[in-house]
Amino acid sequence: MAQRLVLVVNCGSSSIKFALRREGSSAALLSGLAEQLESPKAILHWHTTDGKQSQALSPGGHADAMASLLPLIDEYADQPLSAVGHRVVHGGEHFTGAALINPEVIAAIEANAPLAPLHNPANLIGIRAAQAVLPQIPHVAIFDTAFHQSMPPYAYRYALPDELYAVHGVRRYGFHGTSHQYVTQQAALLRGWPATQGAWLSAHLGNGCSNCAVLDGSSLDTSMGLTPLEGLVMGTRSGDVDPNLHAHLGRTLGWDLPRIERLLNRESGLLGLSGLSNDMRELEQARKDGHDGAKLAIEVFCYRLARSLAGLAVALPRLDGLIFTGGIGENSALTRALTLKHLGILGLQVDPDANSNLPRGEAGNIEAAGSTTILVIPTDEERQIAEESLHLLDASN
């Protein structure tokens, strides 16, 4: 029998990202994006082995967009779908793994909405729209936070009064769990070990960035916290700042909380430091052209990344390897080289040729002789969501 098919759905407030994945395969049969939903510019883009295509959508929103996927799925699926896997951002403490979607699961995702007010409601819109057009298929929720539920309390608690945790859920949750889990499994497989073996540090560097310490398949600590703002310097997010910054800006500039939230989430990070761009490619070019802001932004990004990795290393009993992934981690040899300059303390030494010559899109080792392993591994969150959805169905049958 042909390997099973899963539709992977990642729904935002005005977009739906989707992919039709075959079990065990590293390539999507069909992938695309419906965007600018609920506007006259609503459009569907998709990509297959036949190339890229687009089609205007009615301004009817997520339900219409989801319905317009059905003929495409029919065209490229050679068997009925076995599952629809939905990415959901925040599972709080309720979800420690994938969940078969039913009314109780939907209620729990709703209950976690205060922790992810922009994302969870949008994810629910996607779940409802997909269930409406594919009612006979099992729908599975995969949470960005679930992988990190294995963190011990000393890693996930803030030094705040207990009531804020016990009553209001204020703790570190972590995100990017699907990616950290996927790349650490791939790292183990590349070593010839079972997928859940090894002591790894993983750096997921995209527009959002986070690090994770993983031991034998379990997250022990990660750099993001209650929200994805904590930790590393990111495209437009500041990462860690002095928590008193809020009070300081309020007192000295009269800024209110929405203004400060915008500053820290949208105007900071690489963009704020460089005064130029949140895009690492652009910054690398500007740095070459002598732009001081771009140079500083990249230096701060790499130093703070290295400092976080060195801090997370204490969560592990030993280090079997460091993994770079995400758009920056996979493609920016400069970022990897500048970060690794600070990490000799962990026994990590980069081979400059291997680092610069790694073929785009491929996994490979970039450590020098005698160094602890350093890997670049392309992440594939959609594949992980598809595989986890099928594992859950197999386990519940």
Number of residues engaging ligand ADP in binding (CB under 6 A): 13
Which of the ranges 12-20, 156-164, 203-211, 238-246 carries the binding residues for ligand ADP, by CB under 6 A? 203-211
The distance of closest approach from Cβ of residue 379 to ligand ADP in the complex, given in angstroms and rounded to an integer, is 8
381 assigned ligand-binding residue: yes
The distance of closest approach from Cβ of residue 335 to ligand ADP in the complex, given in angstroms and rounded to an integer, is 7
Nearest-5° angle of CA 269, CA 344, CA 213?
60
Any catalytic annotation for residue 256? Answer: no
> Is 11 a binder of ligand ADP (CB under 6 A)?
no
> Is 220 a binder of ligand ADP (CB under 6 A)?
no
SS3 349: coil
> Is 126 a binder of ligand ADP (CB under 6 A)?
no
Instruction: Output 68 or 268, the one with its CB closest to ligand ADP.
Output: 268
Can you point out the beta strands (E) in 111-262? 139-143, 199-205, 209-215, 218-222
The distance of closest approach from Cβ of residue 397 to ligand ADP in the complex, given in angstroms and rounded to an integer, is 33
Which member of 12, 92, 138, 326 binds ligand ADP (CB under 6 A)?
326
> Is 212 a binder of ligand ADP (CB under 6 A)?
no
The distance of closest approach from Cβ of residue 285 to ligand ADP in the complex, given in angstroms and rounded to an integer, is 9
Dihedral angle, C-alpha 287, 290, 292, 293, nearest 10 °: -40
> Is 224 a binder of ligand ADP (CB under 6 A)?
no
Window 282-311: residues binding ligand ADP (CB under 6 A): 284
The distance of closest approach from Cβ of residue 59 to ligand ADP in the complex, given in angstroms and rounded to an integer, is 25
Instruction: Output 86 or 87, the one with its CB closest to ligand ADP.
Output: 87
Burial (CB count within 10 angstroms: exposed 0-12, middle 13-18, buried 19+), residue 137: middle
Say how many C-beta atoms besides its own lie within 10 A of residue 358's C-beta.
19
Six-digit token string for 124? 């629910």
Task: Give the residue carrying structure tokens 């904590």.
Answer: 230
102 assigned ligand-binding residue: no
List Cβ neighbours of 290 (8 Å cut-off, separation of 6 or more).
Answer: none
> Is 208 a binder of ligand ADP (CB under 6 A)?
yes
d(CA 44, CA 83): 22
123 assigned ligand-binding residue: no
d(CA 363, CA 31): 22
- Cα dihedral across residues 325, 327, 328, 334: positive or negative: positive
289 CA to centre of own chain: 31
From the list 50, 74, 144, 242, the catalytic residue is 144
Radius of gyration of the chain (CA): 21
| Residue whose Cβ sits closest to ligand ADP | 327
List Cβ neighbours of 363 (8 Å cut-off, separation of 6 or more).
Answer: 186, 190, 375, 376, 377, 378
17 assigned ligand-binding residue: yes
> Is 381 a binder of ligand ADP (CB under 6 A)?
no
179 half-sphere exposure, CB direction, 13 A CA radius: 26
Tell me which residues are annotated as active site. Answer: 144
Annotated binding site: 10, 17, 87, 204-208, 279-281, 327-331, 381
User: Which residues fall in the annotated binding site for substrate?
Assistant: 87
Binding site for ligand ADP (CB under 6 A): 206-208, 235, 279-281, 284, 326-328, 331-332
